[in-house]
Amino acid sequence: MIWIWLSYVQSPQTFIRQVLLPCTSEIRDSEYGGIHLYCSNLSNRMEEKKIKNHGFVVQNGREVYKWAVTTVPKGINKLIENAEVTLNHINWFVPHSANLRMIESICEKSGFPMDRTLYSLVDYGNTSSATIPLSLDKGVREGKLKAGDNILLYGFGGGLAHCGLLIHWTI
């Protein structure tokens, strides 16, 4: 495993190029909302509906999939727009490795090629919050990531939250 130490250096060429943080109302007010992924031991009802499987984490996989393949490409486009670059300026895309079909669909809808996408799930499965660091490690070990590359990281998951980060790889 390769350890990555992040440090901030104030210069025109900073490590972090752009961040996309959606506001909570964007998540709460979306058509998907929290009804498709929740911890059921907090309440018996949600949005006037009786909660099934009380006492467990519940996920409606089909709806979470639809949320991810709709929301993430929109977030990517917003992040790219805010950074004033195009997808051609991005060397690598590193999404959360939830499942391969989801990654393929996100790439297709955002216009980013799969052959420039790093993911770890084939080797490790969905390791939750570790998928992006594992994908970066795999990219380094395979000699794909090079100093000077622009990398788009995009995480999403529990609570239907999502966040993107565009970094300039300096290692």
For domain 16-31+60-168, the CATH superfamily is Thiolase/Chalcone synthase (3.40.47.10)
Radius of gyration of the chain (CA): 17
Residue 143 predicted with pLDDT over 70: yes
Q: Any idea where the domains of the chain sit in the sequence?
A: 16-31+60-168
More confident residue, 67 or 3: 67
Place of tokens 């996408």: 117
> Which amino acid is residue 12, in one-letter code?
P
Q: Give the whole-angstrom CA distance, residue 164 versus residue 101.
A: 20
- pTM, 2 dp: 0.78
- What number is the average pLDDT over the span 24-35? 46
What is the secondary structure of 51-86 as a DSSP string?
Answer: PSSTTSEEE-HHHHHHHHHHHHHHHHHHHHHHHT--
